[in-house]
Amino acid sequence: MRTWQKSLAVLKNGNSRFIQNKVNNILHHDLELLSEAQNPYAVILCCSDSRVSPDIIFDRGLGDLFVIQNAGNVCDTSVFGSIQYAIQFLKTPLIIVLGHTGCGAVTAAHNHKRMKGPLQSIVSLIDKHIVDGSVLDSTENHTLETAKTLSSALNLHQDKFEQELKVIPAIYNISSGYISWMDIDKEALSIPDH
Ligand SMILES: [Zn+2]
């Protein structure tokens, strides 16, 4: 069974290759093998922003990442349900909540914009995580708080899962390709912004 530590190492190595322009996994896959089962390293909850594509920025191929995308990487019932599927049936040990710099949804919430239609329901889920300071401050806090919510919900049910689960928030920098990893407990970035 995969461990979250091994999965995290795979993601960090893949992002390192992406930054160095040395991606090598994206186009390599065995469809016959993949048709039998999937065993993804991690769940990635991230924004739908077209500049944030987890398979590319982590240099992973088909079957490697269980990706959930919506504008602003918010967590609602369908997201919870999708994550439950991955950890319960695919035994995925690691859940990454991946915010990003230049996020339009977080910027709208940060600037107290009110949207017409269903988009407002997404912005409303970000509103409560907005802080004084820059849009990046709000993005970090929104990502951190979303990860905390997920982690608390999963901890309540940890005894039902075979694998040890870990939820890690992170911010993807769309201009450098770097990822700043956060720690739910320390509430601080583990590496400096690039
Ligand atoms: Zn975004």
In a domain, 193, yes or no: no
Tokens of 102: 């230049």
107 backbone φψ class: left, alpha, beta (φ>0; ψ -120 to 50): alpha
CA triplet 189, 129, 156: central angle to 5 degrees? Answer: 80
In a domain, 62, yes or no: yes
Domain residues for the domain of 44 are 4-19+39-181
C-alpha of residue 78 to centroid of ligand 1, in Å: 18
More confident residue, 139 or 194: 139
In a domain, 190, yes or no: no
C-alpha of residue 71 to centroid of ligand 1, in Å: 6
C-alpha of residue 50 to centroid of ligand 1, in Å: 9
Query: How far is Cα 167 from Cα 31, in angstroms, rounded to an integer?
Result: 29
Tens-digit pLDDT profile for residues 57-114: 999 999 999 999 999 999 999 999 999 999 999 999 999 999 999 999 999 999 999 9
Query: How far is Cα 144 from Cα 124, in angstroms, rounded to an integer?
Result: 17
In a domain, 30, yes or no: no
What residues have CB less than 8 Å from 12, skipping those under 6 apart? 179
Tell me how far CA of residue 58 lies from CA of 36, 150, 158, 178, in angstroms.
Answer: 24, 22, 27, 10
67 near 46, Cβ under 8 Å?
Answer: yes
In a domain, 26, yes or no: no
Q: How many domains does the chain have?
A: 1
In a domain, 172, yes or no: yes
Residue 86 sits in a domain of what CATH number? Answer: 3.40.1050.10
C-alpha of residue 30 to centroid of ligand 1, in Å: 32
Residue 55 pLDDT class (50, 70, 90 cuts)? very high
C-alpha of residue 69 to centroid of ligand 1, in Å: 10
C-alpha of residue 92 to centroid of ligand 1, in Å: 24
In a domain, 134, yes or no: yes
C-alpha of residue 111 to centroid of ligand 1, in Å: 14
Query: How far is Cα 115 from Cα 80, in angstroms, rounded to an integer?
Result: 24
In a domain, 24, yes or no: no
Mean pLDDT of the chain: 93
Residue 18 pLDDT class (50, 70, 90 cuts)? very high
Query: How far is Cα 25 from Cα 165, in angstroms, rounded to an integer?
Result: 25
pLDDT at residue 189, as a whole number: 47
C-alpha of residue 82 to centroid of ligand 1, in Å: 20
C-alpha of residue 182 to centroid of ligand 1, in Å: 18
C-alpha of residue 160 to centroid of ligand 1, in Å: 33
CA triplet 130, 152, 122: central angle to 5 degrees? Answer: 40
Tokens of 190: 């583990």
C-alpha of residue 121 to centroid of ligand 1, in Å: 15
